[in-house]
Structure 1
Amino acid sequence: MKVFVTGANGFVGSYIVAQLLADGHEVFASSRTGDLSSFNTNKNYRFIQVDFSDPFSLHDAFEFVQPDIVVHSGAMSRPDDCEIKQSDAFDTNVFGTVQLLLNAEAYKSFFIFLSTDFIFDGEKGMYKEEDKPAPVSYYGKTKMDAEEAVMEYRHGWAIVRTSFVYGKPLYGRGNFITMIADKIRTKQPFNVVNDQLRTPTYVSDLANGIAAIVKQRTGGVFNIAGKNILTPFEMAQRVAESLGISDHLIRPVTKDELKELAQRPLKGGLDINKAISDLKYEPVSFDEGLRATLR
């Protein structure tokens, strides 16, 4: 199948591309920046430089690819940035998604959208697919609005919600776990919040879950996340233990002490029982994922 992937230069997008190529799909990877990957030796790989919020270049890209499936992993995903630059966040996360849906409709492509547990308010925690969104940040609001647009799409769709994705970057920027590992190794002081719960997701697991949806064209909303419930500080402690470093300068703080610009849900995390049942999803433990990340 021909699969068009947005955000292919990103941390998650690169893993999605790698998994889809491993599964034998014809992958058209896209990003607004030039190709950063080493996939171009694969005969099934093509890269297209395109800004998915630009209707004209996006139309040309879809006319060229005519995809069977679209995997939309591109986004403006840093909550504080979205809070500061709300117009940019809307253009990327909402308007861009709508533009992709309009173009996908012309080819009746199956549409997969990557979302987040930040669409919830964090009052309850361990959210199920049917729980009602109530975002507490502008980032969460843009992802909720984009989800609503996807749910109006007429030719088959799936929404994948995930939480706190980590792993070893294939290229490009790191993530929380790799950043914390650097802070610990170099004995840099750093405050990490300890009153917010997440279900950290190993990036290969997320890519495998999305690949299962691509293979089966399974529609609906799916939580694809990790199986352990941890605070970011607890994750940082596990990193230090894995590195065998006890004299680090990582300190636990509350969200009020940290004073992040965008509000985060206190009790995040996702119930993954539906994905386990319907997609045969089998995530690794956090410790297993951590070993693979730091190896």
Structure 2
Amino acid sequence: MKIFIIGSSGAIGFNLYRFLKKKKLNVIGTYNKNKKPNLIHFSLGNTESENKLLNKINKNDLIFFLSSYTDVSWIRKNKKKSEKLNIVLTKKFLFKLIKKKIKFFYFSSAEIFNGKKGFYNENSKTNPVNFYGKLKFNIENYLKDTKYANYHIIRTGRNIEMSDEYSCMIKDCYLTLMKSDAKMAEDNLFTITHQVDFCRAIYKIIKLVKVPKILHVVSSHVISRINFANIIIKSSLNSKHMSYKKCKFKDIDYGEKRAAKNNLDGTFTSEVLNIKYTKPEKIIKEKVKLIDKKYFK
């Protein structure tokens, strides 16, 4: 069995690619513009590129589909381009996988929920409020409508990888806290998942005989934005330069609606996989230690 990770050059994909390689699995990863060592080029929507990749895939193989625009702010400002890749071209390629009867996992997001209640499980009603969430929601509904038996959906929250190569919410918050006008929403809830835990979970999914249709591969340790910021401040060598004012989530201008309680419930998937996740305090402290090396004054 070969494992294809389509969209391996991003933070989630590249860490997963390297992890599965270390497990001695037959992994093939793709990149489009962000070239990485040992990945092969693939351009979604390019017929020649798609056919070249599809010719390498057979019915015993497994596909993880991560190819997508994921920057929520950028997507809001570039709706047409985002819709073309994240919906139009994605649907066409997934249909080709369905025709070949290939088992695949589509990566979705916590953003498919409206964030009013939080603690969303695999069966919770989806109702996205931002454009990125609506794009993911569209593909999820498309897959459900196909009635295809061999697709699965993996929803993720905020994954944290331990390098300075990719964007990271801990680093973003760290730098914001060093500004004089920093604000933290006390009613903002979310989860963070260590990238190693995430990769371990995916490895276990590969080994499952019977895979649930939808999986929340995410830590269930919920943290508030205030506690998140406080742990960063307490852990950082730059703590004396950091401060913030408390506010409500609605008072922060994102340019569009966002989900305030943006946390998935990963209990079901954790039980299926028999996996425990690193607590947020430990993740934050580990990442802050790396960030301090670059930004300590």
Report the alpha carbon displacement of residue 272 of structure 1 after superposing the two structures with TM.
1.3
Shift in CA distance, 292/158, structure 1 to aligned 2, threshold 3 Å: farther
Give the corresponding residue for 2:28.
28
2:271 to 262, 270, 277: 277
Give the corresponding residue for 2:102.
109
Is 1:173 equivalent to 2:173 in the alignment? no
2:75 to 69, 76, 82: 82
Deviation digits for residues 80-103 of structure 1 (CA, Å, limit 9, x no counterpart): 222221112212222233133123
| Paired amino acid for 2:96 | N
Whether the 8 Å contact between 2:115 and 2:259 is mirrored in structure 1 is yes
Report the alpha carbon displacement of residue 71 of structure 1 after superposing the two structures with TM.
0.4
Give the corresponding residue for 1:265.
259
Give the corresponding residue for 1:19.
19
Q: Following superposition of structure 1 onto structure 2, how do residues 122-271 of structure 1 map, counting pairs within 5 Å?
A: 122-151=115-144, 152=146, 154-169=148-163, 172-182=165-175, 187-189=178-180, 190-216=182-208, 218-251=211-244, 252-271=246-265
Whether the 8 Å contact between 2:75 and 2:131 is mirrored in structure 1 is yes
SS state at 1:198 partner: strand
SS state at 2:218 partner: coil
How far, CA to CA, are the matches of 2:212 and 2:46 in structure 1? 27
Whether the 8 Å contact between 1:160 and 1:210 is mirrored in structure 2 is no
Structure 1: runs of 5 or more not aligned: 41-46
Whether the 8 Å contact between 2:233 and 2:242 is mirrored in structure 1 is no
Whether the 8 Å contact between 2:223 and 2:280 is mirrored in structure 1 is no
Shift in CA distance, 55/149, structure 1 to aligned 2, threshold 3 Å: farther
Report the alpha carbon displacement of residue 8 of structure 1 after superposing the two structures with TM.
0.9
| TM-score, length of structure 2 as denominator length | 0.86
Whether the 8 Å contact between 2:188 and 2:260 is mirrored in structure 1 is yes
Report the alpha carbon displacement of residue 145 of structure 1 after superposing the two structures with TM.
0.8
How far, CA to CA, are the matches of 2:148 and 2:93 in structure 1? 13
Deviation digits for residues 171-210 of structure 1 (CA, Å, limit 9, x no counterpart): 73231113334556xx444444433211222222222222
How far, CA to CA, are the matches of 1:234 and 1:273 in structure 2? 22
Give the corresponding residue for 2:293.
none
How far, CA to CA, are the matches of 1:192 and 1:49 in structure 2? 41
Structure 2: runs of 5 or more not aligned: 290-297
Whether the 8 Å contact between 2:220 and 2:267 is mirrored in structure 1 is no
What's the % identity of the aligned pairs?
19
SS state at 1:265 partner: coil
| TM-score, length of structure 1 as denominator length | 0.87
| Paired amino acid for 1:202 | H
Give the corresponding residue for 1:290.
284
Whether the 8 Å contact between 1:156 and 1:219 is mirrored in structure 2 is no
Shift in CA distance, 180/129, structure 1 to aligned 2, threshold 3 Å: same
Whether the 8 Å contact between 1:111 and 1:157 is mirrored in structure 2 is yes
Report the alpha carbon displacement of residue 158 of structure 1 after superposing the two structures with TM.
1.7
Is 1:58 equivalent to 2:50 in the alignment? yes
Report the alpha carbon displacement of residue 132 of structure 1 after superposing the two structures with TM.
1.0
Whether the 8 Å contact between 1:9 and 1:172 is mirrored in structure 2 is no
Report the alpha carbon displacement of residue 212 of structure 1 after superposing the two structures with TM.
1.7
Deviation digits for residues 47-87 of structure 1 (CA, Å, limit 9, x no counterpart): 22112243442222221344711101222112222222111
How far, CA to CA, are the matches of 2:121 and 2:276 in structure 1? 17
Shift in CA distance, 179/265, structure 1 to aligned 2, threshold 3 Å: closer
Whether the 8 Å contact between 2:191 and 2:220 is mirrored in structure 1 is yes
How far, CA to CA, are the matches of 2:86 and 2:185 in structure 1? 26
Whether the 8 Å contact between 1:167 and 1:292 is mirrored in structure 2 is no
> Deviation above 4 Å: which 4+ runs of structure 1?
none
How far, CA to CA, are the matches of 1:172 and 1:106 in structure 2? 37
Give the corresponding residue for 1:44.
none
SS state at 1:247 partner: helix
Report the alpha carbon displacement of residue 155 of structure 1 after superposing the two structures with TM.
4.8
Whether the 8 Å contact between 1:137 and 1:262 is mirrored in structure 2 is yes
